[in-house]
Amino acid sequence: MAEGKKPDRGQLRIDEAECKGCGLCIEACPAKVIAMGEGLNHYGYRTAVYAGAGCTGCGICFMICPEPGAITVYRLVSAAGAATTTDSAKGATACASN
């Protein structure tokens, strides 16, 4: 993310091991920031891949996705509520580790 640019409202994590590559999220995403990856995962599926920027955090891809945890959608916490819970930090760490 370039310095000084406004951060995205959302972030997206796609669990490569859980995704089966049905492509419904790609179709569903209003911002069109998900695409089909080129490589195959451990189970032989081409998986969906986040473009890395542009997510609005709307959550539609999550709702359409048939797998329980293949997609996790994060939302930007506003400056006022920035110091919310430790949960957010945890979530972010998990996200980062992937």
Partner 1 sequence: MSNETVQDYVVAHGRAKSFYERFERKDELQHQTHFCPGCGHGTVHKMLARVIDELGIQDRTILVGPVGCGVFTYYYFDVGNISAAHGRAPAVATAVKRSRPGSIVIGYQGDGDLSAIGSAEILHAANRGEHVSLIFINNAVYSMTGGQAAPTTLLGQKTTTTPFGRSAANEGYPMHVCELLATLDAPVYIERVGLGDNRQAMQASRAIRRAIENQVNGLGFSLIEVLAPCPTIWKKTPVEAQRWVRDEMEKVYPLGVYCDRTKARMEAGLTQPAVAPTLDQLPGILGVAEADLPEGNAAALVADKPVDLQVRVAGFGGQGVLLLGEVLAEAGLDAGLDVSWLPSYGPEMRSGTSNCHVRLSRKPIDSPLVAAPNLLVAMNEPSLRKFDRAVRDGGWVIYDGDEFPADCVREGLHTFAAPFTRIADELGNKRAANMVMLGSLLEIASVLPEASVAAALHRMVKNPRWMELDERAIARGRELYRASLKEMVSA
Which residue do the tokens 């997510």 mark?
55
CA distance 24 to 27: 5
Residues belonging to the chain: 98
- Residues 73-92 interacting with partner 1 (rule: CB under 8 A): 73-77, 82, 84-85, 87-89, 91-92
> In this structure, are residues 73 and 28 in contact, taking their beta carbons and an 8 Å threshold?
no
Residues that bind partner 1 (rule: CB under 8 A) add up to a total of: 46
Residues 6+ apart with CB under 8 A from 21: 36, 41, 45, 46, 47, 48
- Residues 5-44 interacting with partner 1 (rule: CB under 8 A): 7, 10-11, 17-18, 20-24, 27-28, 30, 43
Q: How far is the CB of 81 from partner 1 (least distance, A)?
A: 9
Binding footprint of partner 1 on the chain (CB under 8 A): 1, 7, 10-11, 17-18, 20-24, 27-28, 30, 43, 45, 57, 59-60, 62-77, 82, 84-85, 87-89, 91-93, 95-96
